[in-house]
Amino acid sequence: MPLLMFDVLEGRSEAETKAMLDAAHRAVLTAFKVPERDRYQIVHENKPYQMVIQDTGLGIERTEKVVVLRVFTSPRSPEQKALFLTELCRELHEYCGIAPSDVMVSFINNDRSDWSFGNGVAQYLTGEL
């Protein structure tokens, strides 16, 4: 049930975007052990002047393939987060040609009671999930 929100520069093709989303989903499946259909992804395309992604002084170079990813999720262990970051960068590099230096990720934790998957019901609270 992580919700992945991607910010990228405009200009990727539909095939490139699909490959990016598929790669990220494989990383989610590996790191978080969620069901296959536990897939929630949104892509926002931005004009170059709308994204300033520097490096906090780390010397990381960015390109036009930069991806900023927000992962909204119930709390995950540090080990799960580290595995996700490793797998995400590996998948994006292997299948999309996106360098690890172009991947920035932020985890946003919330509680299971913060989720409704539809029908005006908090399924984790009702026991449906």
So which residues are the catalytic ones? Answer: 2
> How far apart (Å, rounded) are the C-alpha atoms in residues 87 and 14?
22
Helices 14-32 and 78-96: crossing angle, nearest 10°? Answer: 150
- Run of H or E including 3: strand 3-9
Mapping DSSP onto H, E and C, the string for 17-41 reads HHHHHHHHHHHHHHHHCCCCCCCEE
